Amino acid sequence: MLKDVFDYPNLHTALVIAGKTALIYLFLVAGLRLLGKRELGQMGLYDLVLIIILGNAVQNAMIDNDNTLGGGIVAAIVLLLLNRLLNGLIGRSTRVEAALIGEPSLLVSDGKVIASHMKRQGVSREQLDAALREHGLDSLDGVHMVVLEVDGTMSVVPRDAPVLKTRRHYRGLRLP
């Protein structure tokens, strides 16, 4: 019984699984980075579906038809370690953070729309107005700044800063 439960691949297979998993993760990071900031940030239903499908698409490429407990654990360790490493890099260097996560961009400064930033980020005036209304404002008067955050939400900072809260993504997702 114990032998059946604690089965593991031989060293060669384990190394192959580790190497393939690492490659797949790096490939996923590069691919997702190419999608760009707005797509990365919004995380609508479509993006979630994309991520789930990606996960399924790469499954067999990672573990290579290995059905052992040890094989799965090797792949899991590699993924967890690489993700930790990536987050460590993002946390340590603001340049890496800007390159991988993106930078927030200022859309409105002291009541004035910065047209060039709006254009570059692909934000329309209607979307900006919608964000203002969500914050209970009907015009740019009294707005100190509007910032397009890296998660795709727009933050509105009024001049006389009352407390307003924007919806957070992933609120319901909790790790055990």
Partner 1 sequence: MSVVLAAVKPISVHRVEVQAIKAAIVFVFLVAGFRLLGKREAAQLNVYDLAMLMALANAVQNAMTGGLGNFPVGVATSSTIIILAWAVTRVFRRHPVLEARFVGSPVVLVRDGQVIHPRLRGQRVTTAEVFEACRQHGIEGPAGCELAILEVDGSISIIPKRPGTDAP
**Region 134-173 residues binding partner 1, contact defined as CB under 8 A:** 135, 144-145, 147, 149-151, 153, 155-158, 161-166, 168-171, 173
Tokens, residue 156 = 């509105």
Among residues 60 and 124, whose Cβ is nearest to partner 1?
60
Contacts 24+ apart (CB under 8 A), 167-170: 169/43, 170/43
Q: Do the Cβ atoms of 164 and 135 come closer than 8 Å? A: yes
Size of the site for partner 1 (CB under 8 A): 76
Residues 102-141 that bind partner 1 (CB under 8 A): 103-104, 135
Candidates 16, 23, 82, 114: give the one binding partner 1 (CB under 8 A): 82
Residues 7-66 that bind partner 1 (CB under 8 A): 21, 24-25, 28-29, 32, 40, 43, 47, 51-52, 54-56, 58-59, 62-63, 65-66
Minimum Å gap between C-beta 3 and partner 1 is 10
Q: ∠ CA(35), CA(44), CA(96), 5° rounding?
A: 40
Minimum Å gap between C-beta 138 and partner 1 is 16
Q: How far is CA 91 from CA 72, 87, 96, in A?
A: 28, 6, 8
Q: Do the Cβ atoms of 71 and 10 come closer than 8 Å? A: no
- Near partner 1 by CB under 8 A, which window of 91-99, 107-115, 120-128? 91-99
Tokens, residue 91 = 């946390």
- Near partner 1 by CB under 8 A, which window of 1-9, 108-116, 117-125, 126-134? 1-9
Q: Do the Cβ atoms of 86 and 37 come closer than 8 Å? A: no
